Structure 1
Amino acid sequence: MKVRMLTLGGTMTVLMMLSLCGAVKFPSGYRLCKQDDQKCLFDQIATTLSKHSQGIPEVNLAALDPLKIEKMDIVQGDGPINIELNFKNVDLTGLSESEVKKVTGFTANPTKMELSLLIPVASLVGGYKINGKVLILPIQGQGHSNMTMVNCDVHLKWTGKLVDHANGKKHYQMDKLKAGVDTTRFYMNFSSLFNGDKALGDNMNQFLNDNWQDILKELKPAIVKAFAQIFQKVISNVFDKVPYDELFQ
């Protein structure tokens, strides 16, 4: 099993470097928390997701809802599912409705950090191409797709450290992010399967949704790894842009 590297397209704004002595400017009214103020961090992350889902260019935060993904490839070559699934120009929606469940590690000398979110409905919508076998059935097609998780429980855990930056300040450098994803229901719909044969396509989509638990069990490691890459890119872009101390009061 492997997941090819993905890229985020059209979400990051190229910014001019701030002067070495100047602080990063947050949007008007944006509230900064004290380090270790868990309640404030909970509230502020929730506010960022809901009220700043269009992104915050000043700190290199990408638009979050929808989060635009230029390319994402999932290749599953072992077991009862053997497919190559390529997504192109897809949107991940639902992050603006997230409930923040856990925030830890934002201390004066950070090493390990954690963030847990519950997304009521998370959908990956856009172009796809698929070829291979699902359980006992062949599958192939290209068109528009919708993969939706209900009650999507996302747990992000990463390690890192403060490092000296070219601007003379300390930035948090993320080493590696691991993700966990659980859901109470997984829906799939792929248009234009089997060269547009409606009967075959409808039957396959029905089969996929009737057997969603078995399919998700097989695809979950690859899906989780792909999401880990996406979230690591989004989070590390902020840490790379903003000196760590300037993220707080």
Structure 2
Amino acid sequence: MHLMKMFKPNRVVALNLLWICGVVAEGFIPSSIKRCHLGDEACYKTQAQNYLEYYKYGIPEHNVPSIEPLKIGTLRSQIGGKDTPMQLNLLMTNTSAHHFGSSMVVKSLTIMATPDDLSKPAKTIMIMSSPLIDVTANYHLKGKFLILPIDSKGQVSIKLRQVDVNTVIDMLPEKRTDGLHYLKITGYKMTVETGSGSFNMTNLFKDPALSESTIKVFNDEYKTFSKELEPKIMEAATRATRETLQKVFDIIPFDDFFLK
């Protein structure tokens, strides 16, 4: 199952790329964290995981947001369509992805950069995984399911299991007025695959038994929902993580990313 076009700088991936290099302004890095030599992928992986844990609640003094939870905003999805059993429009607001900062495991990290020539672009490829991401939101579901008209509001929880995240980030060093170089993100692509998923909704119908049975059918037809919904989650998460990572890169000079 694919979550194409979605998921903040995860904020996870965003901060990770920085963390991977083990570089943050002086005073941010705990004594157990270190910078890495260029090409030391074992070091990248270790520092990325350490920083993911250390910065999951953000860097408030530099306006870098928390990734636990990862806030991905408002999502709109059309589920099913004409001549199908499901003809639904779903609006999700105040959407958050929980366990992004606490359960993600960095599987591998590759950095392609030329620190001796800061005019050349850089690229990072990161692979991460999580056993569970729980997406929560306020919802408004309107339309028709079989013969049942639906116009409901409440809370929704979408559980994504065995989540694998592959992120490719293209960057270009830019010289700023302080004479140092900072990374500007020029490309950011996140691909997510999930093993399975399920969801629950409050207040779907006034009749609790009808709500329970309808949600069961929805879960039995989860692939119909996921085909429309998961790409929206992916798109929002990608946008959020990219924005967060750029905020981090704006305060960390690229000149000092690696050990000499």
- Per the TM superposition, whether the score is higher than 0.5 is yes
C-alpha distance in 2 between matches for 1:145 and 1:91: 11
2:192 match: 181
Compute the displacement of 1:57 (Å).
3.8
SS at match of 1:242: coil
C-alpha distance in 2 between matches for 1:230 and 1:146: 20
Compute the displacement of 1:184 (Å).
1.0
SS at match of 2:159: strand
C-alpha distance in 2 between matches for 1:104 and 1:129: 41
State how 1:1-249 maps to structure 2 within 5 Å: 24-25=25-26, 26-29=28-31, 30-57=33-60, 61-69=64-72, 71-76=73-78, 79=81, 83-95=88-100, 96-108=102-114, 109-132=120-143, 139-194=150-205, 196-249=206-259
C-alpha distance in 2 between matches for 1:155 and 1:161: 20
Contact 1:55 1:64 in 2 (8 A): yes
TM-score by length of 2: 0.75
- Gapped runs of 5+ residues in structure 1? 9-22
- Name the aligned partner's letter for residue 24 of structure 1: A
Contact 2:75 2:232 in 1 (8 A): no
- Name the aligned partner's letter for residue 105 of structure 1: I
Compute the displacement of 1:41 (Å).
0.8
1:17 match: none
1:19 match: none
TM-score by length of 1: 0.78
C-alpha distance in 2 between matches for 1:113 and 1:134: 44
Compute the displacement of 1:165 (Å).
2.2
Q: Which has the higher contact order (CA 8 A, sep 6+)?
A: 2
After superposition, give the CA deviation of every residue in 1:154-208 in whole Å (9 maximum; x if it has no partner).
Answer: 11112221112233211111123122111111111111124x4423322221112
Compute the displacement of 1:123 (Å).
0.8
Give the CA RMSD over aligned residues.
3.0
After superposition, give the CA deviation of every residue in 1:202-231 in whole Å (9 maximum; x if it has no partner).
Answer: 222111211112321333333322221122
- Name the aligned partner's letter for residue 188 of structure 2: L
SS at match of 1:183: strand
39 and 161 in structure 1: CA distance in 2 versus 1, 3 angstrom threshold = same
Contact 1:93 1:123 in 2 (8 A): yes
Deviates more, 1:127-136 or 1:182-191: 127-136
Contact 2:70 2:98 in 1 (8 A): yes
- Name the aligned partner's letter for residue 29 of structure 2: P
Deviates more, 1:77-86 or 1:25-34: 77-86
- Gapped runs of 5+ residues in structure 2? 1-5, 10-23, 115-119
2:117 match: none
- Name the aligned partner's letter for residue 74 of structure 2: M
